[in-house]
Amino acid sequence: MYGHDSPDLGPALTAAGFTPGWERSVLIAGPLRSEEHNTLATEVPSGAKELPRQGVHNLYAVRGQAERAWEVAVGSPCLHAMPYPEMIADGASDDGDVFIEVLLEDGLVVGVAWMHADEGRPFAVVGGLTRDEADFVRTCTDEWRRSWRGMALLAEADGLLRARLLEAGFTEATTVRSYHWRPPGTPESTRPAQFLDWLHDDGPLWDRFYADFDFKPSMTYRPAITEPSPSAVWNLHSHHRLVLDLPGELDAIVRRGLLAATKPGEFVHWLDWQHNGYRYDPRRVGVPGRPPVPGYGTYPNGDYYLHVTHDLRLGTFGHPWEQTLTVWGTSLLPAVEAELTDLLGEPVRRRG
């Protein structure tokens, strides 16, 4: 509940069974001025042979310290807008949308700070800092502001950390108080949907797809995969009736098919060639109170799009240049074949 919310909201939440929790300030820092962008250099210089041993550096520049950074972040008593374990559990990546800074002493991580940015939003969120020394706070926040030019930073803090952030150029915008409610039953142990970095998280699955399906990505090589059995291939440009929302209808058919073909609790991977993907439970997304179905759908809008189970026993493969959709699997194909044929016409290829 924010300081500018209705004063009736707190009592209403309490009456509904919520318990008031922590309260802290919401702080905003504008982007650095152009002349301030090059005041810091926290990464290892190009060609450096030794890893840094002192000061503040990006975690990417001190490889091998990820586990230590986790221990320091999780063990910190500081309150954070975005707890480190939740950020990692959500599949956040240090490859562009997340910046993790670490404080080194004698080559060992002793402090961690993390920030997350979403494209299209006007600000990045400071997830947390485990230390409140003035130099550490200022160096981290200045580096984030320098890295995300034109983007403001949003932070939550109290106590000395709040004071340090104010000294580092933040301004208090409002306050925020948490209210907590624990429903009966056992909490779910996994997230309904998870972001996957294409290079690190999706890499092993892509490797198996390349090997098992003889995948040959090319604008001219067709077909791009050796289609498994049973499978069928539909031409996305040969639909025999006017379809005002072909991508939407494809998504609806595939979604119903995946619900019927997968096991309860089984995850599906949505893959986008050489881009980040997602892992999601088809039964826990796309319904009220749940995250939307992740990814950009089934229709191959400029790249190869796939829905596959982890064991690759079933899935869909959209070819953007051949303009085809391949569906395979003994449980998935029968679940979608009639609807896809009604939408797109008879398959152009079939196996099994």
**Domain-embedded: residue 208:** yes
Instruction: Count up the domains in the chain and report the number.
Output: 2
Q: In what order do the strands lie in the sheet with 55-58?
A: 55-58, 98-105, 108-117, 123-129, 152-157, 19-29, 171-180
DSSP 180: E
- Residues 343, 252 within the same domain: yes
- Residues 133, 202 within the same domain: no
- Residues 131, 266 within the same domain: no
SS3 171: strand
10 Å CB burial of residue 290 (0-12, 13-18, 19+) is middle
Bridge partners of 279, per DSSP, are: 194, 269
- Choose one of 127, 147, 180: the last residue of a domain: 180
**Domain-embedded: residue 2:** no
- Choose one of 146, 180, 214: the last residue of a domain: 180
pTM of the entire predicted model: 0.67
- Residues 249, 327 within the same domain: yes
Classify each residue of 116-142 as buried b or exposed e, where b means 16 or more C-beta atoms within 10 Å of its C-beta: bbeeeeebbbbbbbbbbeeebbbbbbb
Q: What angle do CA 254, 255, 260 make, to 5 degrees?
A: 95
Sign of CA dihedral 210, 213, 214, 220: negative
- Residues 160, 198 within the same domain: no
Per-residue pLDDT of the chain (352 residues; tens, 9 = 90+): 999 999 999 999 999 999 999 999 999 998 766 655 554 444 444 444 566 788 999 887 887 788 898 899 988 877 678 888 877 766 555 445 778 899 999 889 999 999 887 666 788 889 999 999 999 999 999 888 887 767 889 999 999 999 999 999 999 999 999 999 988 888 888 889 988 876 567 788 999 999 999 999 988 888 999 999 999 999 998 655 556 688 999 999 999 999 999 999 999 999 999 888 999 999 999 988 888 999 999 999 889 999 999 999 999 999 999 999 999 999 999 999 999 999 999 999 999 9
SS3 192: coil
**Domain-embedded: residue 186:** no
Which residue range(s) make up the domain with 153? 9-180
From the CB of residue 192, how many other CB atoms can be counted at a distance below 10 Å? 20
**Domain-embedded: residue 188:** no
**Domain-embedded: residue 185:** no
Residue type, 1: M
Cα gap 308→208, rounded to integer Å: 12
- Residues 19, 92 within the same domain: yes
Read off the CATH number of the domain in which 123 is found: 3.40.630.30
DSSP 30: P
Residues near 321 by Cβ (< 8 Å), separated by ≥ 6?
A: 219, 220, 222
Cα gap 39→35, rounded to integer Å: 8
**Domain-embedded: residue 307:** yes
Bridge partners of 100, per DSSP, are: 114
- Residues 198, 176 within the same domain: no
- Contact of 166 with 24, CB cutoff 8 Å: no
Q: Tokens 């504008």 correspond to what residue?
A: 30
